[in-house]
Amino acid sequence: MEKLEPYDLTPDPVESFARWFGLAQKNDFNPEAFSLATATLDGVPSSRILLLKGHGPGPQFRFFTHSTSQKGHDLQENPRACMVFYWGKSERQVRIYGAVKKLGRDETAKYFSSRAHMSQLASFISDQSEPIESRESLESKFDRAFENHKEGQVPLPENWQGYELEAKSFEFFVYGEHRLNDRFLYALQKDKTWSITRLQP
């Protein structure tokens, strides 16, 4: 296996991700953004952009959303997902696959309380992905919630949930000249070590 150092990679994909994420935080707009791909039990896929809300100390990646949304239903049926981070200015990409579990309500509540007051209200009134009559009815619903919760903590919605993906594989991708890209696949082995395979562009 050739040396990984030129791409700031290490034998540990968690450390490698931390290095690349740090670089993206310096170079890229909104480096926390990632695409989350899920699928129903019978294989119907969907994807959307979310924000990473914490990672580590091991191969764990956390995000928060509504459990009654499409992704929430998918993860309830089929608790596996793929995350893709694209950092254009850094010319790098990371793809992470793994199993997903729900975080406890205490951890979910802790994060919810850290959000901006207006963001809490938006989550409080939302039945994410459900039809709504009009923009005006949504804004009216928000205004009523604002009047009821001008001060103090907004109650944690029953359908607001934290999730944690535990990685089973990482793919690190570096854009190369003439599209001779570099790709390195880390796969978790039964003994909890990581194999590393260089892939063709």
pLDDT tens per residue, range 36-82: 999 999 999 999 999 999 999 999 999 999 999 999 999 999 999 99
Mean pLDDT of the chain: 91
Half-sphere exposure of 106 (CA within 13 A, CB side): 0
pLDDT for the residue numbered 1: 43
CB 199 within 8 A of CB 185: yes
Segment 119-123 shows an average pLDDT of 88
Beta bridge partners of 65: 161
**Residue 48 a catalytic site member:** no
Residue 2: band (very low, low, confident or very high) from pLDDT cuts 50, 70, 90: very low
pLDDT for the residue numbered 29: 94
Residue 5: band (very low, low, confident or very high) from pLDDT cuts 50, 70, 90: low
Check pLDDT > 50 for residue 139: yes
The set of residues, in sequence order, having a beta carbon less than 8 Å from that of 82 and lying 6+ positions away, is 36, 37, 95, 96, 97
Class of the CATH domain delimited by 5-114+158-199: mainly beta
The set of residues, in sequence order, having a beta carbon less than 8 Å from that of 171 and lying 6+ positions away, is 94, 95, 96, 183, 184, 185, 186, 199
pLDDT for the residue numbered 125: 85
d(CA 166, CA 96): 9
Q: Name the active-site residue from 62, 95, 144, 179.
A: 179
More confident residue, 147 or 55: 55
Segment 20-34 shows an average pLDDT of 96
Segment 176-185 shows an average pLDDT of 86
Max intra-chain CA distance, the chain: 62
Check pLDDT > 80 for residue 94: yes
For the chain, which residues make up each domain, given as ranges? 5-114+158-199
- For 154, the 3-state DSSP assignment is coil
